[in-house]
Structure formats: C-alpha cells, structure tokens
Structure 1
Amino acid sequence: MADSPKRDPFLENRREEDAGAVFVLQSKGQWWHAGFHLTTAIVGPTILTLPYVFRGLGWALGFLCLTVMGVVTFYSYYLLSKVLEHCEQSGRRHIRFRELAADVLGSGWMFYFVILIQTAINTGVGIGAILLAAECLEIMYSSLSPNGSLKLYEFIAMVTAVMIVLSQLPTFHSLRHINLASLLLSLGYTFLIVGACIHAGTSKHAPARDYSLETTKSARVFGAFTSISIIAAIFGNGILPEIQATVAPPATGKMVKGLLMCYSVICINFYSAALSGYWVFGNKSNSNILKSLLPDDGPSLAPTWVLGLAVIFVLLQLFAIGLVYSQVAYEIMEKQSADVKQGMFSKRNLIPRLILRTIYMIFCGFVAAMLPFFGDINGVVGAIGFIPLDFILPMLLYNMTHKPPKSSLTYWINLSIMIVFTGVGIMGTFSSLRKLILDANKFKLFSSDVVD
C-alpha cells in the first residue's frame, strides 16, 4: 500500500495553535495579491535614491549594476519560491523564512540568524519609511511656510501617530487593497519625477552638469561599494516566504506570476528615475531627488504642483511600505502574546495588539528622529540585511532542496552568486559603516536636516 502524504505540520498540526500564523499570516490571497505585496516591498520611494547611487558609480557602471542586480534578484526570488513549493509538495508548507532555513539546512542556529537579520531589515525599513515620510511633510511645509518653526522631529511624530493607527490592521492579507493603491502611487510619482527632471534639465535654470566621480581612488572604491549596497537594499525585501504565506494553498506557480507583475513595475520605475535624475544633477544628486528639484538656495526646478503631487504620492505610499515591513514583527509578537482560541478581535487579543504595535512604532519613530541618516541607513541595511537573505540564502536553499548536479550550470551559477555577494556584502558593510561614521560628524541629535 502506498504511503499516505505527509501532513503539513504548519497548516494542520501547529497552525491552529499559532496566533502569528492564524491572525497575521492568513493564507487567503490570490497571486495578484502577492504581487501587490511584493511590489510594495520593493518598489518604493527608495528609487528616489537611484540618481545618488549613480553619483557613486557613473553612467556605465550604474546602469550595469542596476541591470545585474535586477536579474539576480528576480532569479533569486524565483528559486526561493521554488524551494517553498518543493517543501509544500513534500508536506511541509513553510510560512516563515526562519523556519524554512532551519528546516532545509537542518540547523537551529539558522532560525535565529534569519530572525535577527529580518528584524534588522524590518526595523531599518520602518525607521527609513517614517524618516522619509517626515521629510516629505517638511518639504511641503517649507514650501508653504518658508519661515515656519516646525522641525523635522515634529513631522516624524506626526507620521508615527498615523502609523500607530494604521498598524492596527490585523492581518497581512488585509493590506491587499492598500498595496494595490501603493503600486499605482509608485507609478504616479515616478512619472511625475521623471517629467520634473526633464523639465529641469531643459529649462534656463538647468544646473551645471558634472558626471565626474570622487577624486581619490579609495573614495571611489568605497563610494562604489556603498552604492551597490544601496541598490541591494532597493531591490531587496527579505520577506518573500511571509508574502507567499498569504497566498491560499496550493501556492505552486502563484508567486512567479506575482514576481512578473512586480518586475514589470520595477523596469518602468527604476530605470526612468535613475537615468533622468542623474542626467540632470550628475554628481550633485541628493539622496532624495526631490530635494535636488527643490533646492534651498534657489527657485524650484519644476512646477510646484508637479512636485507637490509627487510628494503627496510618496508620503501615502510610505505608510503602505511601513505596514508591509512591520508584518514579521507583528507576527512574532502575536505568536507569543495572542490566544488563538479567543478570536482575532477579542478583548484578550485586541489590547496586547494595540499596546505592542504602538510601542514598536514609537520606537521606530524615536530612532528616526534621533538618527536622520536616510541614505546611510539604506546602505547599511542593504549590506547587512538584504544581501544575506536575498542573494545568498536562496541559492543555498535551492541547491540543498533540488540538489542540481555539481556539473550542472545551475549549481555553478548559484555557487558563484553566493561567493560574489558574500564578498560584496562584506565590503558593502565596511564601506557603509565607514560612511555612517564619517557622517556622524555632520549631525546633532534630533537634527532638522537629513544627512546624505
């Protein structure tokens, strides 16, 4: 008699007692919902940093790095989705990255390694989202009231208050409509920014263009690795298994469709923002292209209504991004604090959810106000967080589960990517931390200026 299929320990044996799975990671979505979540996780206002990235790499190397990183990340996410499908077909539907890594690699320490890296990513992105949203508010405020008294940390407090309210949405799946709006907003502000850059570059007030790189060789090397780390952060997400967990089983083939949706938006947004912004500002590109278009010492380089609408679109999307990257933290909290037997909206579960999510958002807002390093945070998070989870582990997990022959091209491509990005991650970490330390001399606590 043939053996009966293995039972899914996460879906059947354990999930009914796991509030993090039942409440936060509900498996009810379709492939397009996963596409919305994935697009929000990757295609965000960090694309406004791309001209700044090109500033450290130049035209040719910047275009090459952007293309290579896009191809490698798509390949990596494709392999990771296949690993998850393989485990599901074997009777083990993993809904968390940390459990997937620990199971496939057979090592308990991988569980804690992944959860540590994911926590760094999610908290870093949460801090960055609040900081950039506050900067958007500050840009609008300074345009309407040039001599106003409000400081950056006050705008951070406003954004944090809104995030506290939105964070009470109970499940990842409940963000699907917000993330559809996020996708449309990303297309909207990209088109507006590109139009603004073209207007700025062809107007009589066009800035002088200089595309030269740093003067010293060491500065160019460090600048290049920092830029590559930022690109890794822009393409990274680190939560694909949790996103795939929101898809109703079986998940086979659904994430690939979601990936194709996401990368269609990436191709439109990333290249247009990077090339148009660097074309106009060259090595004077700011870590936020909006600040380049709205210089402090001169007139706006594009119609105010265009930039104002772009800022509003960016601001609205940042709330969605902050929510998406908070889901792993919320899932961990509710797994420990909630009682699945008493219902999602019971008093027993509602009060701890309100308290814990509020504390988490206040912490992110406080750090954003205290350490306003938007460009530097991107580089550090990319090197330390996204590179291990998005460029190294998926290749290793695929080789472990599908066991391609060592003579096969797939095996050697995966091994090469792991080796190259391990080196890039080490150098990127060093160069990003170096820049963060150097920039520490340029700021004071709770400064009103975001350091590039």
Structure 2
Amino acid sequence: MTVIADLPSSAPPSSDVETAAAADAGAAFVLESKGTWWHAGFHMTTATVGPALLTLPYALRGLGWRLGVAALTALAAVTFYCYLLVSRVLDRCEAAGRRHIRFRELAADVLGSQWASYLVLVVQTAINAGVTIGSILLAADCLQIIYLHAAPHGHLKLYHFVIVVAVVVALLSQMPSLHSLRYINLGSLVVSVGYTTLVSAACICAGSSSKAPTKDYSLSPSNSARTFNAFLSISILASVFGNSILPEIQATLAPPASGKMAKALVLCYSVLSLTFYFPAITGYWAFGNQVRSNVLKSLMPDTGPWLAPEWLLILAAVLVLLQLIAIALVYSQVAYEIIETKSADVARGRFSRRNLAPRVALRTAYVAGCALAAAMLPFFGEIIAVVGAVGYIPLDVVIPVVMYNMAPRGGGGRRSQAAYAANVAIMVVFVGLGVIGAVASVRKLAINADRFKLFSNGIS
C-alpha cells in the first residue's frame, strides 16, 4: 500500500535503549522481548478474537443484512489498517533508536505531549480492567450454565462461579510474562475456531428446526429507534474488533521487530475471518430481529427446550470458558507491567524472594478486585457497546491515524497526501461515530436500568 511505502528499513535498537529497558522491571520481566511473529499472532488473536463475537448477530439486528455485513467488513478493514499503522509507527521509532514497548510511551513520543501518555494510560487501563472483569463474569456465566445443566435444582449462585474462575485466573497470573502465555494463547486460537464452528452449527440446527422463532429481519419502524440501534450496533462492532495492547504485544518480539507484526496481524485476521462471519450470519439468519445480545442465550432460552443438541451447546460453553480465562490473562498484562515497574527490583532474579512475594500478592489482589467487580455487577457485559464507543474507537482508530500522520518520515521519505487525507477522513468519521454511539449505548443502558441488580444472580 502506498500509505506505508515510504517507511525506512529497521535497525536494531541502540545500546542506550537496551540499557534503559534493562533497568525497567516491567519491561524486563513482563514484556520480555523473546517472541517470534507467530507468537505475537497468538497474542493478537487472543486479544482480538474472543467471545464478544457472539454479539455479532445482535449487531446485525440493528443494521439489517446488507448494511450489517458491509459494516462488519468495513470495521475489519479499518481496524486492520489502523493496527498496521501503529506497528509501522513503532517500526519507525525503533529504526530511529527508540524502541517503545508501551502504548502510552509511544503516544507521548509521537504526539509530543505527556498528556497524551496520561490519556492513553487512563483509557487503556479502563479497557483492560473492563475486559478482565467481563471475562471473569462471562466465564462464571458459562460455568453456571454447565452446572445448571448437570444439576437443574442446584443452589450455587453466580458469585460462587466468579470465585472459582478468579482462583484459576489468579493462579495462572503468576506466569511471569506475556511471552510465557504464548502456548496458552495458541490454545485460545484453537478453541476460538472450535466454539465458533459449534455455535454456527447450532444456529443452523436452530434455524432449520420447527422450534425456531419466525424469521423477521425488519428494522424498527421508528426512525429514531432505527438510528439509535444502528449506532449501537456500530459501537458493538468496534468493541468486538477492539485490541488495546498492540504495542505491548509487539514489545514481546525479539529485536529487530520491524515487519514482524504485519505477519502477526495477517495471522490474526485470517482467524478472524473464519470466526466472525459464520456465527454473525448464521445467528442472524436463525433468529432475525429476535436474536439476543449473546447468541448463546438465544440457543438456550430461559423457558422451553434448547434449540440445538445439548452436548453441542455445553461443549461450546466449555470452549468459551477456556478462552475467557486466556483473555483475562492477556489483558491483565499491562496492569502487571505497571505493578512490577513500581514494585520489582530488576537487579534481583525474576523468581527471587524479593520479587516473587510482591508479584504473587499484588497480582492476586488485582484479580480479586476484578472478581469483586464481576460479582457486584453481573450486568457488566451489557456495557460492551459503551466501552466500544468511548474506549476502543479512540484508542484503536483515532489515535493510530493521528500518530501516523504526525510521525516524522524516516530516510527522507515524502508524505503521501492521499494517505494523509484518508487518515483525516477516518478520524473525523470515527470521532462522530464514537460520540453518537456513546449516546446510543448509554440510552440502551438507561432503558434497561431497572433490570440491573447489584450482587444478583444475573440480569433480572
């Protein structure tokens, strides 16, 4: 693409950069740079392809067939492009002897303001904590589904399963670095393909059965409701494609990292193309505008028999549960990096008593805090569209195109005016979509507010 043709070739980071990184416990311990491009691809896939994709049929419900599929494809293209821009900006900085391993540091360097670092830190931390909370909650929900299937009259509540999931996440969180999760994330990639295949098959079974609801793909007759639903759907799509930790993932690549992340992105979006379209299309086809915000809930109605073979849906729930644990681990890494930068002594060994004790205590405390929020807010999954509008759209679309336009060209390369104009257009469009989508998302929450109860056994 002409937009990236003027990038200089990379060079290994300077010794000064390596020395600075070595003095930083967060960089040395949590974001160690030992990975290959396919390891980064595993991390990217886990961070991007998650059970949030089960909301895609609901997103199509607000847009209809043609506009929905077009919006899904457009968001895939735009996010791939923006992630590629972030990677290219990181490559430029590395070629200039400044290898950045944190999103906030990259923003401060390129945008020339420490306030940019604070803004990215706040938004990124909010997103990452939110994803961790949501992952624990949804994993507990999957456990509850499995439990109630085995023991229909069981007395365990949702918060019991939150505790179980939190214990597992806390134990696995003691793995010291993002790189050490590479095989867990490979497993996450495999199970994502597995459960999306199962859910798609279940939707086909449900849509073909006599028990399926009448298929109605019409949009709301009210112009205002139709408009709000469309922007809500776009916010959901932005959340589904969201990935707030690309610079931290690129940091795990062994230097020089230049060019490797593009391969990782191709791997990620190859998996994404398999896992997003099938459940989105089959789920919307099976249930039409009656589809619920999570298509699994449509397949497992609260009353009446399940609409697909029980073994298939339980297996899908198990695979979703496994991936949610991996997602919680990946999105906790930025918090762990911040914690270890402040608490660990890089001069001591990673597993020395001096560093191990605070790591275990602080990481466990972080997971416990997220679990408490999940138990207290069992409706947390309902705010995914708000997260997409106010978090993912700025961090994943707006800031990348602004950084690319502002980043200095290396090697005397000239700025492409067409690319610059395209980036400005993307920024303007998505700022508008983000603002309107946030309003639509908050409106949806307000409408459903009476269903939300603290520490309840789910949404009432």
Q: TM-score, length-normalised on structure 1?
A: 0.96
| Preserved contact between residue 27 and residue 247 of structure 1 (Cα < 8 Å) | yes
Aligned: 1:423 with 2:429: no
Q: Residue in 2 aligned with 1:363?
A: 369
**Match of residue 418, structure 2, among 409, 420, 423:** 409
Q: Residue in 1 aligned with 2:240?
A: 234
Q: Residue in 1 aligned with 2:78?
A: 72
SS in structure 1 of the partner of residue 217 of structure 2:
coil
Q: Residue in 2 aligned with 1:331?
A: 337
**Residue 450 of structure 1: CA displacement?**
3.7
1:20-419 aligned within 5 A: 20-402=26-408, 408-419=417-428
SS in structure 2 of the partner of residue 389 of structure 1:
helix
| Preserved contact between residue 13 and residue 256 of structure 2 (Cα < 8 Å) | no
Structure 1: gaps (5+ residues): none
**Residue 406 of structure 1: CA displacement?**
7.0
SS in structure 1 of the partner of residue 347 of structure 2:
helix
What is the letter of the counterpart of residue 127 of structure 2?
A: I
What is the letter of the counterpart of residue 223 of structure 1?
A: N
Identity across matched positions, percent: 59
Q: Work out the number of aligned pairs and report it.
A: 447
**Residue 405 of structure 1: CA displacement?**
6.2
What is the letter of the counterpart of residue 105 of structure 1?
A: L
Q: How far, CA to CA, are the matches of 1:152 and 1:406 in structure 2?
A: 55
Structure 2: gaps (5+ residues): 1-10
Deviations 1:99-140 (A, max 9, x none): 001011110101100000110110110111011111111111
Aligned: 1:434 with 2:443: yes
**Residue 276 of structure 1: CA displacement?**
0.3
Deviations 1:44-71 (A, max 9, x none): 1111111111122211121111000000
| Preserved contact between residue 60 and residue 68 of structure 2 (Cα < 8 Å) | yes
**Residue 374 of structure 1: CA displacement?**
4.6
Q: How far, CA to CA, are the matches of 1:9 and 1:327 in structure 2?
A: 26
Q: TM-score, length-normalised on structure 2?
A: 0.94
CA RMSD of aligned residues (A): 1.6
**Residue 13 of structure 1: CA displacement?**
3.2
| Preserved contact between residue 292 and residue 298 of structure 2 (Cα < 8 Å) | yes
| Preserved contact between residue 12 and residue 95 of structure 2 (Cα < 8 Å) | no
| Preserved contact between residue 148 and residue 154 of structure 2 (Cα < 8 Å) | yes
**Residue 12 of structure 1: CA displacement?**
2.1
**Residue 365 of structure 1: CA displacement?**
1.1
